[in-house]
A and B are shown apart, each in its own frame.
Chain A
Amino acid sequence: SQTIHQWPATLVQPVGSPLSLECTVEGTSNPNLYWYRQAAGRGLQLLFYSVGIGQISSEVPQNLSASRPQDRQFILSSKKLLLSDSGFYLCAGASLTDTQYFGPGTRLTVL
């Protein structure tokens, strides 16, 4: 099965600073990749998904962007963080022959 890696595990950033969260996948090729955010409460909000290099679909308009420069690399970015960007960010991947697996997550606090 595939393994999803995310870093950093925790991040504290000031309002207005840039953001870059990285996700890499091992154990599969050409996976679908996803970024989720989990804010206060328990819900999983899908932010972006990608079916291939350079192909990004956004689920909700927001202060964030995503890129997929390599087959197994997915990056979540922001030019200027807002307080409302605080949350738990999860990367997930799914291959054609397997289900969706999640990474360990990044806890982002914007102060």
Chain B
Amino acid sequence: GENVEQHPSTLSVQEGDSAVIKCTYSDSASNYFPWYKQELGKGPQLIIDIRSNVGEKKDQRIAVTLNKTAKHFSLHITETQPEDSAVYFCAASRDRGSTLGRLYFGRGTQLTVWP
């Protein structure tokens, strides 16, 4: 099956700085890569996703890049704010929403933004 590795496990940045979280995957057939943000005591919330036919996607301060050849994808958060502090998960799957489309998750990154 798919194996997703995520780094770093913890990340501390000063407010206003950028944060980058990186993930690698093993299954070259994976074609859908979502990112989730989980605040303490809550369920993960989808913040951005990308499909394999796109190399980059941006939504305000958040961007995701995908390198299919190297099988890695990254989350970029610019102008970080204290409310960005949370655990972030990357995931990979073959087909979004299909019967085989279970998500394989990385182990998470605890991001702390210091004011």
Chain B interface residues toward A at CB < 8 A:
32, 34, 36, 38, 41-46, 49, 87, 89, 96-99, 101-103, 105, 107-108, 110
A105 and B87 within 8 A (CB):
no
> Which segment, of A13-21, A42-50, A61-69, A74-82, faces chain B?
A42-50
Q: Looking at chain B's contact residues, is the secondary structure mostly helix, strand, loop, or mixed?
A: loop
Do residues B110 and A42 form an inter-chain contact, with CB atoms below 8 A? Answer: yes
Which residues on A are within 8 Å of B, measured CB to CB? 4, 32, 34, 41-44, 46, 49, 51, 90, 94-105, 107
Contacts across chains A and B counted by CB atoms under 8 Å: 56
Residues of A within 8 A of B97 (CB): 32, 94-100
- Given A32-B97, A99-B97: A46 in contact with B102 (beta carbons within 8 A): yes
Interface pair A90/B44, CB less than 8 Å apart: yes
CB distance from A4 to the nearest CB of B (A): 8
